Structure 1
Amino acid sequence: MIDSVRSARIDEAALKYPRIRQLTVTHQNNAEGDMSSKLLGNNFFRGRMRTNRTTVNMNIPLLTQNKNIAVASIGFVHQFFDLNKVTTEAPGYVVSEETRYVPMVNLAASFTRRDTLFNIPLSLTASLGGLFNPDFQSAQLRFLGILTVPIIRRENTNMTVGVILNIDPSSLTPFIPLISYSHKFKSLDIDLMADLPYRVALRKTIAKKNSLSAFSEMAGNNSFFGFDGPNPTLPHRMTFATTELKSGLMFEHRLTKKVVLSFSGGVNTTLQSRIFKVGAKQNDYLIKNKTGATPFVQVGFSMLPFWDPFKR
């Protein structure tokens, strides 16, 4: 009975917070939009860009014992960048129309400990991971340290504050403040979830198995690619880093006890787009891109937690 209650609570949390689902597969199509680029501060080229991205992520709990939790994660990203209607504006360069396929592999392991300090409950997470291309010739390693402290714990309201230490060559800042707030409006049966600065969502359950959410969420995407041009200014191996803000509506249907189907659409805005040498910092970028906001549609398949850890 205890395990059944615990499982139901975990499932409910995973429905509200998709990031903690055990398996997630999504495919996102972005409409074509204008793109302009500057190389070392000078006009480089203009064109039209379309991006399609299929993402697979799986979280595998390895250990849940007393106050400790260990989790391994593996992810795959299949991306297609379609560049067309190109006008080159930099002497000595020729930027061609092309469709480029860029696959990536994401591996990580994390350890979380929940404890108290001076009678104050806290949670400390350490995560070591890496982003690789399939042949593992290009790699970007990172370390995340997350410290959170609960501030409010009520029946319908919870609030946690904390800080993220992000040691990553492509990160713009090593420290990121974190505020997590949730509130249930019981009279309307609507959940508000705010995980700042990453996500804000309003979720309404419809007929038990369905839900409709209005959301706005920010995510970063890094991709490795090679440049084979004759000009020596650009290195052969480079990182294409973007920070995107997706806003829209998402409908989810709970197909079975553990399987969820999702359909979403809205507007995808590229907040930042830079290209730099693999291993360099984002501030040392070579190319800066500017892209307009474009409509997007996304379909998804996910599974709520089903894999018990090896030791409990």
Structure 2
Amino acid sequence: MKKTICLFSLAFFCLNLKAQENDDIKKKMQATLADKFPETRTIDIRYLRYLPSDFDTELMKEGYEEGKLESYSKLRVAINLPVIRQPKWNVTSSFVYTNDAFDLRNVSSQNDPLQPSYNRKRDFHTFVGAVSFTYFSTLFGKPFIYNSSLIADASNRDIERLKGFIGGSMVIKRKPQTMMTVGAVVFIDPASPLPFAPTFSLDHKFSGSAWVLDLILPQRLLLKRSLLTNGRISIGSEITGDGLYVNNPLPGYSSVYNFTQVELRSGLTYEYGIKKIILSFKTGISTPLSNRLTEKGESSSDYILKVNRQSAGYFSIGASYNIFKKKKD
């Protein structure tokens, strides 16, 4: 399960819910969540590639190296399956595999001009498994959904970390053209920079227009509309974040480090549905916000290595199987 989705998806569980039976509430919640987040669909496969960009690094807050990131690609496969389904609660499982491939060129020291530059290719494999419990209820006469998740991260060598979160979300406004929700998430993770975070979402269809505002704080701001038969275009910005584990063979240092990445992606997305298969293409500009290496389990604010990477173009292609997709969106 992608980290940003785990942390902020609770704000969207109640979108488009009505005061009906629990099964109807669950189906509407699942359909809305799958529509907004491809990562939560039954199967989701994506390939992402960045265009070349320059970078420099800081080791212990001192200038260290600089060079060119000739290529950076990411392959991601996500699977989400139900485990137990009951009228008022259910248990689901998720599995994510990610491959990050870097091609570094002309990397040189910032402090020693006589040190020869080098080229290096690195390949990282990350596995994430999660079990989530969801309870469907009402609060003050409004649909309210509680959710908790236990998440295990692993590299290709070992299980690295266990963490989790608990949260909930409630609809505060439901009109034909506007839906608004609020919620909160508590993080069970000593490496998290915040102990909890509020969540807010707003869906608004503009009067006399085909465009819909999709606002999710603090994760994204998108404008969406249908385009061609069974197609949809989205324009806007999203904050995404993930990480990988770096093994260190040198004695006297931690054996495993965690490299976390946070970026702002601005651009457009086109999705096209063929029955329950959804094809997608994304392109735009990626602006790195934070790239830091820390000891495993430590907060990203206590980093050892910082990477400053220039903004770069990117494109992504993907395919999803969405069991909750309606015959006509």
The two structures have a TM-score, normalised by structure 1, of 0.87
Distance 1:124 1:8 in 2: 15
Distance 2:93 2:116 in 1: 43
Counterpart amino acid of residue 269 in structure 2: M
Counterpart amino acid of residue 260 in structure 1: I
- SS of 1:97's partner is strand
Q: 2:136 aligns with which of 99, 111, 114?
A: 114
Could you say if the C-alpha distance between residues 297 and 44 of structure 1 is closer, same or farther in structure 2, counting changes exceeding 3 Å? same
Cα distance per residue 1:16-63 (max 9 Å; x no partner)? 443432211110000111111111111111111232101111111223
Shift of the alpha carbon at 1:119? 4.1
Could you say if the C-alpha distance between residues 180 and 9 of structure 1 is closer, same or farther in structure 2, counting changes exceeding 3 Å? closer
- SS of 1:15's partner is helix
Corresponding position: 1:29 with 2:32: no
Alignment of 1:1-312 (within 5 A): 11=31, 14-49=34-69, 50-89=71-110, 96-119=118-141, 121-136=143-158, 138-185=159-206, 187-228=208-249, 232=252, 234-255=253-274, 257-305=275-323
Could you say if the C-alpha distance between residues 240 and 12 of structure 1 is closer, same or farther in structure 2, counting changes exceeding 3 Å? closer
Distance 2:148 2:27 in 1: 25
Identity of aligned residues (%): 27
Shift of the alpha carbon at 1:305? 2.0
Counterpart amino acid of residue 109 in structure 1: V
Could you say if the C-alpha distance between residues 302 and 296 of structure 1 is closer, same or farther in structure 2, counting changes exceeding 3 Å? same
Deviates more, 1:258-267 or 1:273-282: 273-282
Distance 1:165 1:28 in 2: 30
Answer whether contact 1:121 1:149 (CA < 8 A) is retained. yes
Answer whether contact 1:169 1:282 (CA < 8 A) is retained. no
* Number of matched pairs: 301
Counterpart amino acid of residue 250 in structure 1: T
Shift of the alpha carbon at 1:236? 3.4
- SS of 1:165's partner is strand
- SS of 1:158's partner is strand
Could you say if the C-alpha distance between residues 147 and 7 of structure 1 is closer, same or farther in structure 2, counting changes exceeding 3 Å? closer
Cα distance per residue 1:197-239 (max 9 Å; x no partner)? 1122211112331111113111211111123458x5x533211
Cα distance per residue 1:61-101 (max 9 Å; x no partner)? 2233222122110000011011111111357x988421100
Answer whether contact 2:34 2:324 (CA < 8 A) is retained. no
Cα distance per residue 1:172-217 (max 9 Å; x no partner)? 2121111011112352222221111112221111233111111311
Distance 1:12 1:31 in 2: 32
Counterpart amino acid of residue 235 in structure 1: S
Distance 2:74 2:124 in 1: 10
Deviates more, 1:166-175 or 1:7-16: 7-16
- SS of 1:282's partner is coil
Answer whether contact 1:10 1:305 (CA < 8 A) is retained. no
- SS of 1:142's partner is strand
Could you say if the C-alpha distance between residues 237 and 151 of structure 1 is closer, same or farther in structure 2, counting changes exceeding 3 Å? same
Deviates more, 1:93-102 or 1:150-159: 93-102
Answer whether contact 1:210 1:251 (CA < 8 A) is retained. yes
Distance 2:55 2:180 in 1: 40
Shift of the alpha carbon at 1:11? 4.8
C-alpha RMSD of the superposition: 2.7
Distance 1:66 1:90 in 2: 64
